[in-house]
Amino acid sequence: MAETSTQGGETLLFLTDEQLRKGIEAMFFAYRGFTADPDRILDQHGYGRAHHRAIHFINRQPGLTVTTLLAVLGVTKQSLNRVLRTLIEDGLVENRVGRRDKRERHLYLTPTGEALERELSGAQRERMRSAYRAAGPQAVAGFRQVLEAMIDPDMRRHYQMMKDGS
C-alpha cells in the first residue's frame, strides 16, 4: 500500500495522490454500506437518518440535555426539534425536566425507543463486526486510529465524551 522508509528512527510515509484518492473513495463507498442497513429499518418505521442519530446518542448518554445533543449532532435546534418532537410524540423518547436546573430537559429512551435502538445498532454492529473479521485484528486498530485522526478538532471532544461514557 504505502511504502515506508526509516530515517533517523522516524518512519516516513510516501503517499501518492492516487493512494489518497483510493482512500477517499473507500470512505465514500464504505459510508454508504455503513448506513444502508439502518436506513432500511428506519424506512419501515417511517423514520429517517436524523431520527437514528438522535436515538443513537440519547442511548449512548441517557439524560443528556438538548443543548448537548445539539452540539454533538451539529445541527440547529429547529432541525433537531422537528425530529425530537416526533420521537417524543411516538413514545420513543422521554423528556424530563432537570432537577438542578429546571430549564434543562434531559432526554431518555423509553423501552420502545430502546427496542428500536437495539434493532438499528444490532444491524450496524453486525456489519462492523463482519468487516472487522474480514480485515483482521491488526487492521481494526489502524482503522480506528485513522478515523480518529480525521475527526475535526472541534468535534473531537464530543467523540471523546461519548467514547469515555460522559
Partner DNA sequence: CTTGGAAAGTCAACAAGGCTGACATAAAAT
Partner DNA sequence: ATTTTATGTCAGCCTTGTTGACTTTCCAAG
Give the residues lining the site for DNA (CB under 7 A).
Answer: 46-51, 53, 65-67, 70, 74-85, 95, 97, 100-105
Nearer to its own copies, 56 or 62 (CB): 56
* Residue owning grid cell 437518518: 49
Partner whose binding site includes residue 127, from its own copies, DNA, none (CB under 5 to 8 Å by kind): its own copies
Least separation in angstroms between residue 131's CB and its own copies is: 4
Partner whose binding site includes residue 45, from its own copies, DNA, none (CB under 5 to 8 Å by kind): none
Instruction: Give the bridge partners for 4, in sequence order.
Output: 13
Segment holding 18, helix H or strand E: helix 17-45
Neighbours of 95 (CB within 10 A): 13
Least separation in angstroms between residue 133's CB and its own copies is: 6
Alpha helices for 93-136 (secondary structure H): 111-135
- Distances in Å between the alpha carbon of 78 and those of 8, 83, 137? 54, 9, 42
Least separation in angstroms between residue 87's CB and its own copies is: 18
